[in-house]
Amino acid sequence: MGRKVAIVGVGHSRYGVRSDVNLPELAWESIKEALEDAGISQKDVEFVVYGNVGVWSSEPLPAIVINEYAELTPAGTMRVEAACATGSAAIKAGYDMVSSGNADIVLVVGVEKMNESPTPTVVELIGRAGNYFWEFENFGLTFPGYYAFFATRYMAKYGATEEDFCRVAVKNHYYGARNPKAHFQREISIEKCMSSRYIAWPVKLYDSSPITDGSATVVLASEEVAKKLTDTPIWIKAIETASDTSNLSKRPEFLHRHSVMLAAQKAYKKAGIDPENPLRYIDFAEVHDAFTIAEVLTYEELGFAKPGEGYKLIREEQVYIGGKIPVNISGGLKAKGHPLGATGVGMAVEVAKQLRGEAETRERQIPIKHGTAVVNNVGGTGHYTYVFIYSLKP
């Protein structure tokens, strides 16, 4: 049993097409906020973990470049990668370092400059992250195509409609419009979503997350240090992970992502949450909605709805504030944005602010009853899965 670990400081850059800054400057936006939030300086940081995929970026080895720019040297550093779950993998690495006693204060930075490459190149590079030789080379699959498989199967099996998936986009744009750090700060209608062009039927442009630049940072601390730094530490009650086959055809059942279900079950058990009724314990969730179908699937995989009934939660507006379980009140990947290396860290920043009652706008502040939130971050189609339980209670 390791030491307890808490988030004691958070920072978040503005997400979007950030041609106004280079990679170290973009990282510094969130690093500076997080250090100030924790009330510490660079010299207090013992180690820095960077989440960065970076294949589209001019800096192939960004950790030491950012460390120098942010005046974090001589602190130790490393870069980690786990596709779209890279930010969560970085938090896991930092958590393990603090929990094991190897450090008392660790900085975790997620950063990505995806728009340094043209859109077709980015789409191809992400597509290669599935099963390159079989699925990408033979069949030309990219990630809109993967999630189109999920959507068509879900519609055929359970009776959901394209409008149901668009309802996810409408919700997330509604809250993104109220998030000053979001990539898309504008509302959309179901009609606008439905009339957007198809990327891979039935996945449309407005069913898809954007190509985003951004950074997010959290300061992790041991229990002893956390209690000295803040009156509102956000405790990491559980981090559980799972994986699945890279080749979709080798999975025993296609529609639901078993790695998500397995990681969630393990996380609930570790945090003392009844997996049969998690809504009794959880105030809200941040989940991986790179495509709108992914959010609907996650409702079911995290136990918020029975298999085949997730679309009813969004159809009945039960995942808005005031509903059964608010989901992606940040705007989600769909509207806040999806800078791969920063995404999981950005989710942690959002959770910390919500639990502390510090959402930037009143319309986005979730009423906190239980003091607990769940985060799900997925790499690929469940290739990498991370589920976190964050809490105001140690």
Residues 173, 183, 256, 338: which is the catalytic one?
338
Which among 215, 204, 236 has a CA at the least distance from the CA of 352?
236
Parallel/antiparallel/unpaired status of strands 76-80 and 47-51: parallel
Residues 12, 84, 193, 256: which is the catalytic one?
84
- Hunting for tokens 């079989």 — which residue is that? 134
Handedness of CA 68, 72, 75, 80 (dihedral sign): negative
Torsion over CA of 356, 323, 380 and 199, rounded to 10 degrees? Answer: -120
**3-state secondary structure (DSSP) of residue 1:** coil
Which among 196, 266, 231 has a CA at the least distance from the CA of 38?
231
As to burial, measured by CB atoms within 10 angstroms (0-12 exposed, 13-18 middle, 19+ buried), residue 21 is middle
Interatomic CA distance for residues 343 and 253, integer angstroms: 27
**3-state secondary structure (DSSP) of residue 6:** strand
DSSP string, 131-180: -IIIIIHHH---HHHHHHHHHHHHHHHH---HHHHHHHHHHHHHHHTT-T
Let me know if 166 is a catalytic residue.
no
CB 294 within 8 A of CB 267: no
> Which residues, other chains included, contact 24 with Cβ-Cβ below 8 Å and sequence gap of 6+?
59, 62, 65, 66, 68, 69, 70
Which residue blocks in 221-330 are alpha helix, DSSP H? 223-229, 258-271, 292-301, 310-315
Q: Which helix (H) or strand (E) holds 344?
A: helix 340-355
Residue positions annotated with a catalytic role: 84, 338
